[in-house]
Amino acid sequence: MKVTIVGTGYVGLVTGCCLADSGHTVICVDNDIQKIEAMRRGEVPIYEPGLEDMMHRAQKLNTLSFTTDLAEGVREAQIIFLALPTPPLEDGSADLSAVLAVAGQLGEHLPDSYCLIVNKSTVPVGTAEKVRETIAAKAKTEFDVVSNPEFLREGHAVEDFMEPERVVIGTDNPKAEALMHELYTPFTNDERPIYMTDPRTAELTKYAANTFLVTKISFMNEIAQLSERMGADIDVLRQAIGADSRIGHKFLHPGIGCGGSCFPKDVRALKHMSEEHDYEFKLLTAAMDINDQQQQVLVDKLNTHFNGDIQGKTFALWGLAFKPQTDDIREAPALVIIDRLLAKGAKVIAYDPEAAGNGRAHYKDNQNITVVDDKYQALKNADALLIATEWPEFAAANLVQIKQALKQPVIFDGRNVYQPAKLAKAGFTYYSIGRQAVTPTP
């Protein structure tokens, strides 16, 4: 099929590359000219395991191309995916301006024969109807609008697209349903089902999934708070409750809260939608409040350790990305920590295996933070190390080297990367989440 993707970010580029890799002819459209030029040169603008090879393969076969011209991009399209940003507005609602702006342009530029517009952006319930009305105001040819929320996880996006746990498609039209079935057949089977439903259910399903996950994370972080105060072992507790198949092991790791471009914004958007429907969704407010509180926990511990005197001190911070295997720092807990340290007059030397570039760009005007390319270099003469992302290389780091480089052997671990007893034995004062602090054992 001839497929066009509008919006070539984390979702759009992955979708485009995976569909091209499966034999479709794909054109990716984006209004960021620098991004498009870079991709034409074969540069992948984001870090996502497996994506670069896939993109190069498709470019070589001429099944994947890039343009900034929407009219040219959709001229022959049978299916047009919208993978546009829907960031939060001040009141928490999703900003639909990019989606509706593109819908307006599409009305003028639809291909001559029937085409399907598939919305992959996370959008409020009722958006498929809005998009349809916006396009219909100017369209001269037949089209349908389908809701197809995306569930991929950054860091596993390629495998999640190629082998999704499920695909959700919202449409009231059998013709659109048949076309979507055909497109997704190679990626689905009995274990990886397609759920066909109406657009409203599809749109709400995405919010329900993300807000449930945030609630699970916040629940576990509250249990961690109790565990720490009561002297329980959070690691055993986590595994024991996870062994119950009704609970499951995933998303039970206590930490410094969740971030990223989706979870916080989707919780706020669902809360806003609930209010619009005169329903007070209390759990969402609590889940977000707990998450905000949890993002402060590491600096609170650090502040107590240094008796509130952190002005002029230097801290090493490992991990800028909101989670491992991505370069995405949008709403990353690391940024909350860094901002608070800087506000208290401290200096930060940060390291991240993939997100260094985004970190430098984010803090480009701030003299008090440096982002270095080596994790041990970040430690030199630092008063302590903070860990904000559980990159596997941190767990494998050399404790002797860490100890030698730091001014004092103190670690504040926001992701429970190490075992407290091991760190105490290695001569560290070690703070983690949901576990009691340890000091060097003689």
Binding site for ligand NAD (CB under 6 A): 6-12, 29-32, 35, 83-86, 98, 101-102, 120-122, 150, 152, 154, 261-262
Between residues 163 and 309, which has the closer beta carbon with respect to ligand NAD?
163
254 with 224: CB under 8 angstroms? yes
Decide if 115 is catalytic.
Answer: no
Nearer to ligand NAD (CB atom), residue 101 or residue 240 = 101
Is 144 in contact with 175 (CB distance < 8 Å)?
yes
Least CB distance from residue 427 to ligand NAD, whole Å?
40
In the complex, the smallest distance separating the C-beta of residue 410 from ligand NAD, rounded to whole angstroms, is: 34
The DSSP element (H or E) to which 270 belongs, if any, is helix 263-276
CA 336 to CA 299: how far, in whole Å?
9
Which of 85, 409 has the CB closer to ligand NAD? Answer: 85
Q: Least distance (Å) from ligand NAD to the CB of residue 313?
A: 35
DSSP one-letter code for 68: S
Largest Cα–Cα separation, the chain: 80
DSSP single-letter state for residue 117: E
Tell me which amino acid residue 6 is: V
Give the C-alpha separation, 200 to 197, whole Å. Answer: 8
Instruction: Please identify the residue of the shown chain whose CB is closest to the bound ligand NAD.
Output: 9
3-class SS at 6?
Answer: strand
- With tokens 């040169």, the residue in question is 41
Dihedral angle, C-alpha 114, 11, 339, 407, nearest 10 °: -170
Answer whether 72's CB lies under 8 Å from 109's CB. no
164: which 2 tokens? 């999704």
Q: Rounded to the nearest whole angstrom, what is the least distance from the CB of residue 83 to ligand NAD in the complex?
A: 5
Angle CA 425–427–432, to nearest 5: 80
Closest contact distance (angstroms) between CB of 11 and ligand NAD is 4
User: What are the residue numbers of the active site?
Assistant: 262
